[in-house]
């Protein structure tokens, strides 16, 4: 995987939109796009590492498809609009399943969905079962509709991300947690949760001021990001409290991750206005299917109980459900 692709996937993950429920905002865009261009099919396609997943679709009864060799993959990788007037005359696509199979796609036009930071997240596209042409003005209109999609994705993220730390906030956490819970149950895989907060954080604000406290929160968020994988989900759950959702992670491994973060925070003071500010943190760790934990609510309840035990045992430590 190239560095550019790695950054693109991280950006896509940051938006927390993959595998989410249908949303009327995006369905409205695909309906308008379909009607504007008088095509039977319109899609908002987002591309992760191996597949294209359809956030919204009109006229196509698929939720996802293979990314490799697809129309959308070519548009995505080039970073430019792609127009295929007749797929049977295009050597790149004439033998593909979507052309030769039951969908019999002959016409395709797609524009990349490019984030403000320049990463191509996916494609807004239209398709037809017969060859057709697209004028320059029509392509410009499709590009404008693509910008509307990106604007909606940005607005959606503002509702789920904490502006101070750049982490998911509570609403975004619950959205992602429900997705990961369903995936864990579907594939019978592990799912663990870390819950932690800053010890005596009020004293930091009282002694150094709230701006200094904000800087501490930002540094802790940076440390969390540096210690976890691209598909883990850190969140600022409220105030000085944080959560980290860890898919495909057993509780023993989650404990080790928590300890790495706790140690890093304790050993890395924050510097603000020539002042050194040192803090410690207390952690609780829980895991799905451990001691009758089968829901996100239970994951949080058990992790919170462990966090309370960590506080009562002297702070600056990690307690797991098994402890």
Residue 20's alpha-carbon distances to 144, 210, 241, in angstroms, are 24, 36, 25
CB contact set of 294 (below 8 Å; sequence gap of 6+): 288
240 is catalytic: yes
**DSSP three-state, residue 196:** strand
Q: Where are the alpha helices (DSSP H) in the chain?
A: 3-15, 24-37, 71-78, 97-100, 136-158, 170-187, 201-208, 210-227, 251-267, 296-312
Per annotation, catalytic residue among 5, 77, 240, 259: 240
Candidates 220, 255, 238; CA nearest to 162 is 238
SS (H, E, C) 85-148: CCHHHCCCCCCCHHHHCCCCCCEEEEEEEECCCCCEEEEEEEEECCCCCCCHHHHHHHHHHHHH
First to last CA, the chain: 39
Find tokens 């919204």 and name the residue. 56
CB 192 within 8 A of CB 253: yes
What token pair was written down for 260?
A: 């790495």
What token pair was written down for 46?
A: 């987002």
**Could you give phi then psi for residue 193, rounded to 5 degrees?**
-135, 135
CB contact set of 42 (below 8 Å; sequence gap of 6+): 30, 31, 33, 34, 57, 58, 59, 124, 125, 126, 127
Find tokens 């249908």 and name the residue. 22
Provide the pairing of β-strand 318-320 with 281-287. Answer: parallel
What token pair was written down for 304?
A: 């919170």
Q: Which residues are catalytic?
A: 240
């Amino acid at each position: 995987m190239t560095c550019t692709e790695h950054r693109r996937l991280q950006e896509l993950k940051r938006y927390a939109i993959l595998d989410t429920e249908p949303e009327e905002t995006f369905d409205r865009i695909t309906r308008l796009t379909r009607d504007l261009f008088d095509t039977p099919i319109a899609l908002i396609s987002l591309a992760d590492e191996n597949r294209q997943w359809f956030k919204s679709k009109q006229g196509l009864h698929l939720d996802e498809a293979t990314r490799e060799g697809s129309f959308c993959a070519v548009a995505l990788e080039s970073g430019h609009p792609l127009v295929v007037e007749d797929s049977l005359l295009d050597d790149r696509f004439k033998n593909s399943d979507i052309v030769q199979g039951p969908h019999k796609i002959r016409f395709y036009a797609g524009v990349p969905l490019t984030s403000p930071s320049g990463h191509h997240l996916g494609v807004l596209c239209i398709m037809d079962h017969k060859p057709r042409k697209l004028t320059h003005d029509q392509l410009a209109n499709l590009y404008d509709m693509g910008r509307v999609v990106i604007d909606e994705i940005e607005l959606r993220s503002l509702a789920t991300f904490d502006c101070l730390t750049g982490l998911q906030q509570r609403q975004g956490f619950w959205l992602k947690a429900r997705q990961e819970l369903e995936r864990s149950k579907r594939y019978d895989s592990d799912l663990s949760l870390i819950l932690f907060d800053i010890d005596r954080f009020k004293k930091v604000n009282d002694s150094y001021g709230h701006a200094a406290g904000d800087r501490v929160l930002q540094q802790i968020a940076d440390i969390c990001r540096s210690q976890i994988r691209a598909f883990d989900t850190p969140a600022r759950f409220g105030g000085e409290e944080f959560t980290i959702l860890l898919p495909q992670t057993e509780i023993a491994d989650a404990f080790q991750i928590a300890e790495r973060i706790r140690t890093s925070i304790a050993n890395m003071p924050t510097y603000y206005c020539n002042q050194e500010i040192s803090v410690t943190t207390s952690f609780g760790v829980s895991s799905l299917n451990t001691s009758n934990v089968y829901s996100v609510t239970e994951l949080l309840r058990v992790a919170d109980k462990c966090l309370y035990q960590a506080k009562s045992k002297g702070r600056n430590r990690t307690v797991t459900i098994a402890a």
